[in-house]
Structure 1
Amino acid sequence: MQRLSVPLQWVLLLAASLTLGVILQLFHVPAALLLGPMIVGVIMGLSGATLRIHKHFFVIAQAILGCMIAQSLSPSILTPLLQDWPIVLAVLLMTLAASAFSGFLLVRFSDMPGATGAWGSSPGGASAMVVMAADYGADVRLVAFMQYLRVLFVATAAAVVARIGLGDAAQQATSPVWFPALHGGFAATLGVMLVGAWLGQRFRIPAGALLVPALIGATFHSSGTLTLQVPEWLLALAYALIGWSVGLRFTRPIFQLALRTLPQMLLSILGLMLLCAGMAWMLTRVLKVDLLTAYLATSPGGLDTVAIIAAGSKVDMAFVMAMQTLRLFTILFTGPAIARFISRFARAT
């Protein structure tokens, strides 16, 4: 793959991603336009492709998702969280405990440094965890590999669960209009997207490129001040950029570096996914949410990938994003303490 010129690699990436994405859509796989580019990116990355998605394009893609999410958010989403706060708090604490336990076991039974295992196992936004890990002395390469490996597993598993659980209903009932007539709402959306992304980056807000446009857009959209318009072609572009950003990170050198601890990583990821799935099932027993909504709300994947799958699966998007956002900020506050604990006590004496 390295022998191919960069333009030829781009042609191959675009053609293969489009082909696989269309095939997955024909089989009604949720988030097909994310999974297709992500899978192709992984294959090309491990084959030695030299392509990389610039950070600015990744930020813009997250901002587009933020505007899409904003259309589903309103102040009313706080009502179920406040009414059932003991249950929400219990699920949140159990998720943190599960991730800490997963990181503890990973460090105990592998050669991985404590801080690296702790941050790699944290179920928050992948990009935010990588940045935090760098500030606390962890091996950023291994943290990124673990985080995006889990994103890959979670995205695939969530899409499969959505397909099995909802059948053909997992796909939108009507075919989307790919190129609708644009109106003033599209210009407003671009403004919210650019301003929100800039603010999120300027003030170094974790996952700010997604969360700030979502909050600004929701404020204007729910109040009727602005009507946001996020056309399907723009969403598809954002899905592809995020899929490529994740997939192309799986380079051969990083894979070889992680090879010694790969079995333990996989067990850690699968164990955490199973624990979160168990909590999702318990959530359905005490709250009026369906299993897929609960699964995505507790799923240990990145905010952006979970949002894409939720948007294509007819679940309660507001509840999913509220739970995921709450968990992200809780991990950002507790992550350093958990990393120190694992670094100190996880090593066998």
Structure 2
Amino acid sequence: MTACIAGEAAESVVPASHLLVPLVVGFAAAISGLVAGKVPPSVNRGSQAVLGVMIGASLSPTALLQTATAAVPLTIVTALTLVLSLAAAALLAVVARLDHPTALLGMIAGGSAAAVACAEDVRADARLVAVMQYLRVALIAATAPVLVGWLLASPAPSGGSPPVNPPAWRLVTGPHQGAGLVLVVVIAFAGTIAAGRLRLPSAALLGPMLLAATLTMTGTTAGFAPSGALRSALLTVIGLDVGLRFTRSALSRMGRLLPLALACSVVVSVACAMLAWPLSRLVHIPLTDAYLATTPGGINAVIGTAAASNANIPLISSVQSLRLFCMVLLAPLLIRLLTRQGRPEEQAHGRSGRRPPT
């Protein structure tokens, strides 16, 4: 409860506050010895399932219509972003001697909360993943408003309207709260069971995500994406779970990793920003819109910046949501492929360094 209240209080000053603040609270409690143990596995998997519903429901027919005319350029940009993430992960794996799952989830562009949530399922170190992911989120949150302000020397409205935050009492989107909550529970449960039987990686996340996306894309149902207090609660659980995993030995390892992780985050962010110029020319949109659409993560900070600069919010949110969906779907599959192709001695080395002793 304390972590949730603290996250709510810091929402206006901290990016992704409902995940970062509980992470810090859990970290402080674990390091100080006030709390021993982790969030119960059933609670953690439940939060992953609800997060999967939220991600899947972000894709809708409206979102597709916003990006349909620029499908090819946007697909190329998304693919290049994935390649940049893989290159940064490969560098980290070699130089910092990280295992492939931790390096890839730490560097994957987009889906920070999802990357942290599914780390345990793919045998990655959730603590290192969280540090690398939110290092990039903080970098984007700090630089995006400055860069957009510089690009908008002569502001010209390009459409869009500021996002409206749902009231805290609304637990799902849409007016029918009861039906929406039932849908969230049913989709989370059915998606997890189906993904488990199909042996999908990160079943608790991917199953509900794919099922929710199918229902929204086909127009079968709408108005069930977690929002308000429910969204805050599930992000709090994920952040708290990661924070409680920290140990003093883990901190020592992170200190050595931090400079290289920061350098990789800067390079990936700059490279993605450079993709904005050709995208702007090909799709005939303002450079500011293209830049905000191609930033590697930090979707909340990006949408806030878009609203403040009067950018095309529907286009930007659609592109970011589609890339988020692709990254979350592909990351576990790529990890499984890399792990299978790795030599036995490399995998043994990764397992020995994946979890610092507790």
What's the TM-score, normalizing by structure 1? 0.67
2:93 and 2:182 mapped to 1: Cα distance? 49
Q: In the alignment, what sits opposite 1:325?
A: 325
Matched, 1:203 2:198: yes
CA-CA distance at 1:52 after TM superposition: 1.4
2:50 and 2:56 mapped to 1: Cα distance? 10
Q: Kindly tell me the number of residue pairs found equivalent between the two proteins.
A: 311
CA-CA distance at 1:195 after TM superposition: 1.5
Bigger mean CA offset, 277-286 vs 186-195: 277-286
Q: In the alignment, what sits opposite 1:267?
A: 263
* Deviation readout 1:233-283 (Å, 9 max, x if unpaired): 222211211221233333322222444444333333343344334435654
Amino acid paired to 1:66: G
Which structure 1 segments of 5+ residues have no match? 1-13, 135-139, 344-349
Identical columns (%): 23
Q: In the alignment, what sits opposite 2:25?
A: 40
Amino acid paired to 1:154: R
2:204 and 2:119 mapped to 1: Cα distance? 15
Equivalent residues in 2 for 1:1-349, closer than 5 Å? 14-15=1-2, 17-25=3-11, 27=12, 31-48=16-33, 49-75=35-61, 77-78=63-64, 83-106=69-92, 109-110=95-96, 112=97, 115=100, 118-119=103-104, 122-123=107-108, 125-128=115-118, 131-132=121-122, 134=123, 140-141=124-125, 144-160=126-142, 173=164, 176-178=167-169, 182-221=177-216, 225-229=220-224, 230=226, 232-279=228-275, 283-287=279-283, 288=285, 295=292, 298-299=295-296, 315-316=313-314, 317-332=317-332, 334=334, 336=337
Q: Is the 8 A contact 1:178 1:231 kept in 2?
A: no
Q: Is the 8 A contact 1:33 1:240 kept in 2?
A: yes
Q: Is the 8 A contact 1:281 1:295 kept in 2?
A: no
CA 1:186–1:83: 2 relative to 1, 3 Å: same
2:240 and 2:51 mapped to 1: Cα distance? 15
Q: Is the 8 A contact 1:122 1:331 kept in 2?
A: no
CA 1:154–1:183: 2 relative to 1, 3 Å: same
Equivalent residue of 1:183, what SS? helix
Which structure 2 segments of 5+ residues have no match? 110-114, 150-159, 308-312, 347-358
**Superposition RMSD on alpha carbons, in Å?**
4.2
CA-CA distance at 1:178 after TM superposition: 1.4
1:221 and 1:37 mapped to 2: Cα distance? 31
Equivalent residue of 2:167, what SS? coil
CA 1:154–1:279: 2 relative to 1, 3 Å: same
Equivalent residue of 2:131, what SS? helix
